[in-house]
Amino acid sequence: MATYLKIGGDMVYYLRSDQIVLGIVLDGAHLIVSFSNPDIEWVRLDGLPFGPPIETPPDKQAERKVKMSNADLSSTTWSGIAAQYGPPGGAMTQWPVPPNFTLRLNTPRTVRPAPTHAPELGIEFMLLNE
């Protein structure tokens, strides 16, 4: 069974890691996807309309926001707890969702609602299981 991260309708990356960290900065400008599995060296989020590609650092100690507590990618539900994180040399930012939440696979989650005058500015992401 394959798991993918999708932003909007665009497939971004095939996820092979057993632990995944997802984060979105408060202004909605960046999505951070980090892996604790040493087999994955980095991930680039290319082709996104809201910022340049982002890479995890070589030491795998990437910015941490939400660590999905269920390591089984075949599960239908991952749960996490919002947390603050400190990017290298940067300021603290907080995950812009309620402190406790559940992210279900194959279910979109809105992380920045679109304004009525510019629906293309909304951002959704989902974890898709095949």
> Would you kindly state where each structural domain of the chain is located, as residue ranges?
3-129
Whether 7 shows a pLDDT value over 50: the answer reads yes
Span 36-49, pLDDT tens digits: 333 333 333 333 33
Side chain identity at 5, as an amino acid letter?
Answer: L
Integer Cα distance of 50 and 62 in angstroms: 20
Whether 116 shows a pLDDT value over 70: the answer reads yes
pTM, two decimals, is: 0.35
